[in-house]
């Protein structure tokens, strides 16, 4: 079998012994190296031309890219990018300038130098600040890529208590990192928070707080002439006509100024729900339903 094909299908970097195990011969590897189709990075390590430097670095220490460093390769939400590489390895090779993970793997590696998704998430839960690991896990969960029960079953013992606390906050329903962050912020502030709520005459709103305050999150800036911008403003108008207040927040508000966002929410809530229509008022009728539990 073609060594270049084997290595490329494994992500671009692979140990020589693994290339041999997958059907290549020593002679075919030598021919591929002579032709330039395969590079001999060092003794026992091969790569294709143009291989990702991060994966090559992981191969040099005989490790796997994992945790927040592997998040982009699985399309996971990230609160912030890795400031230094995170590697899993179980040998004694020196790996300066990186974060080392040594938790026993639960799955075969995804390919030559990247850990499998369940191990990436387990290691993030034990390594990262709570919100950073939460958004990664919740992204995978909402896509149907992981069952939190599997993760919980591998997080036993006192040292895993904080990781289990993070898993307890994981929910279905968030369409973005921002929705996850805002939901956690509101609930930890003691605010009754419903997500993805349908309101008659308005449509689906991101949050309904204390039964009357609508909060919407805009992940990107819309041009005033865009269809989505106009749709959102018409929804805001419909809410105002119905007597429901609306607050809109953007990425910078949720990620960089959450306390300011929370202060504005509290200011509106402090005015009390008596100013706003309630679903049990005579003649008002039921007006909302949760789309996602």
pLDDT digits (tens, 9 = 90+) for 4-22: 999 999 889 999 999 999 9
C-alpha dihedral sign at 69, 91, 108, 4: positive
For 108-136, the pLDDT digits (tens) are 876 789 999 999 999 999 999 999 999 99
271 and 183 both lie in a single domain: yes
Considering only 118-122, 186-190, 264-268, 274-278, which range has the smallest mean pLDDT?
Answer: 274-278
Q: Which of 167, 192, 210 is the last residue of a domain?
A: 167
DSSP state string for 187-249: HHTT--EEEEEEETTTEEEEEEETTTEEEEEESSPPPTTSHHHHHHHHHHHHHHHHT--EEEE
For 50-102, the pLDDT digits (tens) are 999 999 999 999 999 999 999 999 999 999 999 999 999 887 666 678 899 98
Q: Which of 109, 136, 167 is the last residue of a domain?
A: 167
Strands 193-199 and 213-218: what pairing? unpaired
Taking 60 as the threshold, does the pLDDT of residue 247 lie above it? yes
Is residue 145 within 8 Å of 154, Cβ to Cβ?
A: no
206 and 270 both lie in a single domain: yes
In a domain, 280, yes or no: yes
129 and 157 both lie in a single domain: yes
Taking 60 as the threshold, does the pLDDT of residue 291 lie above it? no
Q: How confident is the model at residue 43 (pLDDT cuts 50, 70, 90)?
A: very high
214 and 263 both lie in a single domain: yes
150 and 226 both lie in a single domain: no
Q: How confident is the model at residue 148 (pLDDT cuts 50, 70, 90)?
A: very high
183 and 286 both lie in a single domain: yes
In a domain, 33, yes or no: yes
Burial of 157 (0-12, 13-18, 19+ CB in 10 A): exposed
189-193, long-range: CB < 8 A, 24+ apart:
189/262, 189/266, 191/265, 191/269
Residue 232, number of CB atoms within 10 A of its CB = 16
181 and 286 both lie in a single domain: yes
In a domain, 71, yes or no: yes
151 and 184 both lie in a single domain: no
Taking 90 as the threshold, does the pLDDT of residue 33 lie above it? yes
Scored b (16 or more CB within 10 A) or e, 110-149 reads bbbbbbbbbbbbbbbbbbbeebbbbbbbbbbbbeeebebe
CATH number of the domain bearing residue 239 = 3.40.960.10
For 159-203, the pLDDT digits (tens) are 999 999 999 999 998 889 999 999 999 999 999 999 999 988 888
In a domain, 172, yes or no: no
Q: Which of 136, 167, 198 is the last residue of a domain?
A: 167
283 and 183 both lie in a single domain: yes
**In degrees, to the nearest 5, what angle opens at C-alpha 177 toward C-alphas 149 and 229?**
140
Range of the structural domain that residue 236 is part of = 177-290
Of 159, 141, 139, 142, which is closest to residue 150 (Cα–Cα)? Answer: 141
Considering only 36-45, 218-227, 271-280, which range has the smallest mean pLDDT?
Answer: 271-280
184-193, long-range: CB < 8 A, 24+ apart:
184/131, 184/134, 185/254, 185/258, 185/261, 185/262, 186/215, 186/262, 186/265, 189/262, 189/266, 191/265, 191/269
| Angstrom distance (rounded) from CA 267 to CA 12 | 54
Is residue 53 within 8 Å of 92, Cβ to Cβ?
A: no
Taking 90 as the threshold, does the pLDDT of residue 229 lie above it? no
Q: How confident is the model at residue 224 (pLDDT cuts 50, 70, 90)?
A: low
Taking 80 as the threshold, does the pLDDT of residue 236 lie above it? no
127 and 159 both lie in a single domain: yes
Q: How many domains does the chain have?
A: 3
In a domain, 226, yes or no: yes
Taking 80 as the threshold, does the pLDDT of residue 240 lie above it? no
In a domain, 144, yes or no: yes
41 and 70 both lie in a single domain: no
**pLDDT reported for residue 112:** 81
pTM of full prediction above 0.85: no
In a domain, 92, yes or no: yes
Taking 90 as the threshold, does the pLDDT of residue 292 lie above it? no
| Angstrom distance (rounded) from CA 126 to CA 124 | 5
Dihedral of CA atoms 152, 153, 156, 161 in degrees, nearest 10, equals 10
137 and 161 both lie in a single domain: yes
In a domain, 141, yes or no: yes
Across all residues in the chain, what is the average pLDDT? 87
Of 16, 29, 104, 30, which is closest to residue 62 (Cα–Cα)? Answer: 16
Percent of the chain with pLDDT over 70: 88
């Amino acid at each position: 079998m073609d060594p270049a094909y084997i290595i490329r299908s494994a992500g671009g970097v692979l140990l020589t012994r693994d290339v041999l195990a997958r059907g290549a011969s020593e002679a075919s590897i030598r021919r591929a190296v002579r032709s330039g189709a395969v590079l001999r990075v060092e003794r026992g390590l091969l790569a294709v031309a143009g291989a990702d430097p991060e994966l090559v670095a992981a191969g040099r220490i005989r490790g796997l890219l994992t945790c927040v460093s592997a998040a982009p390769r699985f399309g996971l939400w990230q609160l912030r990018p890795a400031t230094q590489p995170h590697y899993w390895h179980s040998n004694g090779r020196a790996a300066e300038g990186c974060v080392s993970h040594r938790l026993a793997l639960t799955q075969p590696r995804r390919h030559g130098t990247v850990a499998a998704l369940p191990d990436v998430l387990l290691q993030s839960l034990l390594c990262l600040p709570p919100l950073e690991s939460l958004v990664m896990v919740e992204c995978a969960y909402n896509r149907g890529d992981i069952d939190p029960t599997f993760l919980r079953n591998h997080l036993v013992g006192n040292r895993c208590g904080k990781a289990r606390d993070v898993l307890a906050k994981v929910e279905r329903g968030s369409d973005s990192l921002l929705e996850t962050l805002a939901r956690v912020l509101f609930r930890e502030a003691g605010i009754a928070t419903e997500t993805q709520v349908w309101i008659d005459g308005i449509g689906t709103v991101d949050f309904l707080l204390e039964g009357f305050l609508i909060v919407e999150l805009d992940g990107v800036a819309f041009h005033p002439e865009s269809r989505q911008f106009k749709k959102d403003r018409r929804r805001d108008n419909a809410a105002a006509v119905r007597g429901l207040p609306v607050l809109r927040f953007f990425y910078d508000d949720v990620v960089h100024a959450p306390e300011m966002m929370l202060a504005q929410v509290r200011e509106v809530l402090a005015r009390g729900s008596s100013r706003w229509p309630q679903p049990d008022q005579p003649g008002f009728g039921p007006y909302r339903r949760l789309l996602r539990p």
